[in-house]
Amino acid sequence: MYILGIESSCDETAAAIVKDGRTLISNVISTSVQEQALYGGVVPEIASRRHAEYISATVQKALADAGMQPADVDAVAVTFAPGLIGAVLVGVNFAKGLAYGTGKPLVPVHHLRGHIAANYLTHPALKPPFLCLVASGGHSHIVEVADWCRYRVLGRTVDDAAGEAFDKVARTLGLPYPGGPSVAQAAKTGDPHAYKLPTPHVEGKYNVSFSGLKTAVMNEVHNAQQRGQEINVPDMAASFQERIAQILSKKLLAAAADTGATTICLAGGVAANGRLRQLVNDGAQKLGAKIYLPELKFCGDNAAMIAAQGYYEYLDGNLAGWDLNGLPTLAIDYR
């Protein structure tokens, strides 16, 4: 079964074709990230406009790269939640028109479910149940994946998401957007123990918090400026990255130990962070659990992950009518 996936929840306009939820046929991403970088973050109105400009050509290229016509796909899957609502609606409306015009089923896909499904593209043998940390610009969740479309959230951020914290700290340190890659790059030459940053305490054994950590970095920088001193950017970047990676990995591994999980995965943009991957990999080995990490190209937003999850949503009977609407928020475990 060939699924055409469409993704437009943030600043990537993406289209892809995936066979049977596992085999990548084509994958095209048109991004406005360079334009967004001028403002230090995503401007929703600009993102929406660029999606409207890019989406038709992006879908056409995904089909052309696969050597297919719209009539050749078996279903159209699209991110319908969560995300920047103006951006989400561009993809939803295009997908509805394409599905209606070709008489194909329309499959609604939750964005975070898509991030988890990115692992299926990298690891064809992976199947539920498993435990997954989904960490991105807008989300930080520890999710128990019971089945292809059955989820239980064990922990989540109570304020800022990890990716959001990376972006804000990068801006504070004068590093470019997006913050995750720029902080990781700066951290390569830094001392992760140079600055003593706090580990926020929150209610909920597996919940996390990054607002206080972000504020601690900002205060350190501002205090140094007031004293006429300069912050060592590589050291601060390394210290911040180390603290976030430690927090996320410890919570994930604690959840794995408590639930007896034998398979652990990472997903989302922050899953590309090398230090996080290292800590989770080392911890999983100590627990005797198998670890699955998504290929770096599937960590950020893309449509291949939407097509992959769309296949399983289709098999589960999760189809949408022509009244499908985009949603800015929606729990991953919705039914």
Domains and CATH numbers, the chain: 2-117+298-315 (3.30.420.40), 128-297 (3.30.420.40)
Position 203 scores a pLDDT of 94
For 25-79, what is each residue's pLDDT tens digit?
999 999 999 899 999 889 999 999 999 999 999 999 999 999 999 999 999 999 9
Looking at residue 321, its pLDDT comes to 97
Q: Tell me the C-alpha distance between 123 and 144, whole Å.
A: 18
Task: Find the range with the poorest average confidence among 37-41, 117-121, 246-250, 269-273.
Answer: 37-41
Is residue 138 predicted with pLDDT exceeding 90? no
Say if pTM beats, i.e. exceeds, 0.95.
yes
Q: How far apart are the first and last CA of the chain?
A: 24
Number of H helices, E strands in the chain: 10, 10
Q: How many CB atoms lie within 10 A of CB 63?
A: 20
> Residue 142 phi/psi, 5° resolution?
-105, 115
pLDDT at 137 over 90: no
Per-residue pLDDT, averaged over 302-316, amounts to 98
- Arithmetic mean of pLDDT, 123-139: 95
